[in-house]
A = this chain, B = another copy of it.
Amino acid sequence: MMRLADIGEDALVSRLLAQLPEAPAELLVGPGDDCAVVPFSVSEWQLLKTDAIVEGVHFLPGENRRRVGWKAIARVVSDFAAMGGRPRWFLITVGIPADAAIAPLEELYQGMAHCLQAYGAALVGGETTRVPSQSGLFVSIAATGIVEKSHLLLRSTARRGDMVFVTGRLGGSLAGRHLDIQPRLAEAHWLASRGFATAMMDLSDGMAQDLPRLARASGLGFSVDTNALPCHEGASVAQALRDGEDYELLFTCDPALAEQLLPEWREVFPDTPLTSIGRMVDMAESMHLSGGWDHFAPLSAP
């Protein structure tokens, strides 16, 4: 019998989506990008996103619950940023064993409230549900966002010859940084509104997983200098490729604009590194990266 650990997350998602009927025509972007994109107003698209974190998988049972709450919201804010949009309405579903203590749950909500306020979003609903006592807590976030039609950035629109850029530094997030994510909302909005990016996504599962996804969505390959990857202090290139949970922006840019991008960026975001790491090439010429976070890979994997 085939099990999830045998095939990995991307193959699983493909098999599940194959069970569904064809998407309706008014749906601009369905499963496969950071968010779904559906009609909203004459000048805007609505972005829809869900994301879950699970005790024992995305955070440890003893972890500070305010930080866990912040992370749960911030991950979704990062997805809206990656599309060139901004977050708006959030709904929170929490699955809790009946014998769970209440105080840590209140702390979880305090952390979520803090992050919602920081990024101009609001909680409008959700629910609590019981899970069996041997199960871990789960927090499932659903949210709507909004994006100007002219600002929308997808994974699928990179062009051959585009340069590949990444913001911030990568690797070593699991030492604790993954709980204190600062989504690149301002940077992403600037890139989208200035027209610098041809395609964009956020780095959640590690460069080695996420860059191939962007390339595949665009029908292209990539050639990157892994030694050029901007690593966090103490993190190796291997960690920058595989650790995940960086929540930095990965985007492509027409080389003709790159000369203009870099000096303007340094002026507007002097504290956020921006690094050119390579180029988009034909699929047949693509290099391959290994590592990165697959939710269903055997736990002994690197």
Contact = CB atoms under 8 A, between A and B. Distances in A.
A130 B99 contact: no
A38 B123 CA distance: 11
Contacts of A295: 98, 128-130
A56 interface: yes
A268 interface: no
Within the oligomer, what is the number of copies of this chain? 2
Interface stretch (A20-28, A177-185, A228-236, A253-261): A20-28
Interface in A252-302: 295-296, 298-299
Contact of A3 (B53, B101, B126): B101
Contacts of A134: 134-135
Interface residues on A, range: 35 or more
A157 to B, nearest CB: 18
B296 A142 contact: no
Nearest to A100: B4
A237 interface: no
Interface string A93-131: 111111111110110011011001100001111111111
Interface stretch (A9-17, A158-166, A238-246): A9-17
Among the interface residues A92, A98, A295, which one has the most CB atoms of the partner chain B within 10 A?
A98
B140 A50 contact: yes
A95 B54 contact: yes
Contacts of A24: 122
Interface stretch (A29-37, A194-202, A213-221): A29-37
A209 interface: no
Contact of A124 (B19, B30, B91): B30
Contacts of A16: 94, 105-106, 109, 128
Contacts of A98: 3-5, 295-296, 298-299
B27 A129 contact: no
Contacts of A94: 16
A49 interface: yes
Contacts of A21: 113, 116-117, 122
Contact of A102 (B3, B49, B128): B3
Nearest to A113: B20
A4 B36 contact: no
Given A2-B103, A4-B99, A102-B2, A54 B132 contact: yes
A48 B138 contact: no
6 contacts: A12-B128, A13-B127, A36-B125, A50-B140, A130-B295, A142-B142
Interface of A: 1-5, 7, 9, 12-13, 15-17, 19-21, 23-24, 27, 30-31, 35-36, 38, 40-41, 46, 48-58, 88-89, 91-103, 105-106, 109-110, 112-113, 116-117, 122-132, 134-136, 138, 140, 142, 144, 295-296, 298-299
Given A3-B99, A128-B296, 10 more contacts: A4-B96, A4-B102, A7-B102, A15-B105, A16-B94, A30-B125, A48-B91, A50-B140, A134-B135, A140-B140
